[in-house]
Chains A and B, each alone.
Chain A
Amino acid sequence: AQSVTQLGSHVSVSEGALVLLRCNYSSSVPPYLFWYVQYPNQGLQLLLKYTTGATLVKGINGFEAEFKKSETSFHLTKPSAHMSDAAEYFCAVSEDSGYSTLTFGKGTMLLVSP
């Protein structure tokens, strides 16, 4: 069974600082990995995804994530935080096997201070 662990329910950074949101996954087969963002009172929006190929994936709004199979990780980073990045971020995993559904982590709330 697949699962996702997001370390830290809340992460606080200053504007301009590096953003690092951690995600570790468990999967019995090669995974597909996703990061979604949720702004207040809205649905989820895809930031980026890893399926196959290049392990460093670039997404929208300057975010990127690196798939590290040996560490079973898919951490999300952004070099310089903006106030507009304040939101909740969800890591999710799926598999290329039959009717595989998407399993989400519990989310990390990113707080950005001026």
Chain B
Amino acid sequence: DAGITQSPRHKVTETGTPVTLRCHQTENHRYMYWYRQDPGHGLRLIHYSYGVKDTDKGEVSDGYSVSRSKTEDFLLTLESATSSQTSVYFCAISARQGANEQFFGPGTRLTVL
């Protein structure tokens, strides 16, 4: 299995509070991604990174920010959590884009009350 960990694995928070999710990899892959998974929507890309301090927006980036100060860590921050951000969040990594597959972490289940 690819060395990807996510923390925390479960979190319950209240509306309006900031939340940070962490993705850590031991594979030294260049690309890292944050997705959210919701019933009926599949996986939707929030943000991705193509190198240290290089990030770009995905399909559903509003209300989220990311940072990558080291190759191995990619942080996702919900600036002011809302109930619509209740979801399962997955981190993924890949060595290159295009033909290279992505490897997924175990996910973080976030509930915003």
Q: Any chain A CB within 8 A of the CB of B48?
A: yes
Q: Any chain A CB within 8 A of the CB of B99?
A: yes
Among A13-21, A61-69, A70-78, A100-108, the stretch that binds chain B is: A100-108
Q: Which interface class (under 10, 10 to 19, 20 to 34, 35 or more) fits B? A: 20 to 34
* B48 close to A101 (CB less than 8 A): yes
Interface size counted on chain A using CB atoms at 8 A = 27
Q: Contact check: which of A34, A94, A95, A107 meets B42 at CB < 8 Å?
A: A107
* A-B contacts, CB under 8 A, total: 56
Main secondary structure of the interface of B (DSSP, over half): strand
Question: Contacts A9-B40, A44-B90: A32 and B99 contacting too (C-beta < 8 A)?
Answer: yes
User: Which A residues are closer than 8 A to B by beta carbons?
Assistant: 9, 32, 34, 36, 41-46, 49, 51-52, 90, 94-97, 99-107
